[in-house]
Amino acid sequence: MSLRLGDKAPNFKAQTSIGDIDFYEFLGDSWGVLFSHPADYTPVCTTELGRTAALKDEFEKRNVKVAALSVDSVESHHGWISDINETQNVEVNFPIIADENREISEAYDMIHPNASLTATVRSLFIIAPDKSIKLIITYPASTGRNFVEILRVIDSLQLTANYSVATPADWKEGEDVVITPAVKDEEIEARFPKGYTRVKPYLRLTPQPNK
């Protein structure tokens, strides 16, 4: 059965490029990003892992731990990491999980038979500190991920987890947000002291409350 938003992310123990991990212990109280790759030594994935390493500070300031996965071995991962570091001018500083028996890939529904019987699709999961799945994105093998979008979604998820707001289309950190319908007009002044704009009864905008 496929995982859906709100489901608990399956825990697992695995060998990785940084040693053996228990996934839940690795995440601890942090947010998590788990993303899969069709195989080691593939060109698009090389750029993606390089980009992830380059964004280390951005993930850390959001309290996010990152882990990648492919169905190749730890030995293969180490060789590939050397190539990534060389070609992308980075230092890969997060675990790449070895899933040779495909147990983790199956648990996370990363094997799509119509795309490939053996390789994982390019799936990405954002996982909250309570281990619930907050976002699932699956890209085709030919299309690299947009990491600006991934960071944007993390910002939105962390904001909306703590305030009764939602983020509108193309929202970016620091822009106005939408007050959720569950908040009554008479409650807004106390809950959102920065004020608000009433565009329609159901569309009420307020400055980002944690800024």
**Is the pTM value of this prediction over 0.95?**
no
Which pLDDT does position 2 carry in this prediction? 83
150 lies in some domain: no
4 lies in some domain: no
Domain residues for the domain of 107 are: 13-144
Count of CB atoms situated within 10 Å of the CB of 100: 14
Q: How confident is the model at residue 140 (pLDDT cuts 50, 70, 90)?
A: confident
Residues 96 and 130 in one domain: yes
Tally the domains of the chain: 2
Q: How confident is the model at residue 111 (pLDDT cuts 50, 70, 90)?
A: confident
Asked if residue 52 lies in contact with residue 66, where contact means CB atoms within 8 angstroms, the answer is yes
Residues 69 and 138 in one domain: yes
3-state SS class at 160: helix
Residues 21 and 109 in one domain: yes
The CATH number covering residue 184 comes to 3.30.1020.10
Distance CA 110, CA 105 (A): 5
Residues 184 and 95 in one domain: no
Tokens of 115: 């795309």
Q: What is the pLDDT of residues 42-82, one digit of tens each?
A: 999 999 999 999 999 999 999 999 999 998 999 999 999 99
Residues 112 and 170 in one domain: no
Whether residue 113 lies in the annotated active site: no
Any residues with CB less than 8 A from the CB of 76 and at least 6 apart, and which? 40, 41, 98
Which pLDDT does position 192 carry in this prediction? 95
- Which one of 14, 45, 92, 121 is the catalytic residue? 45
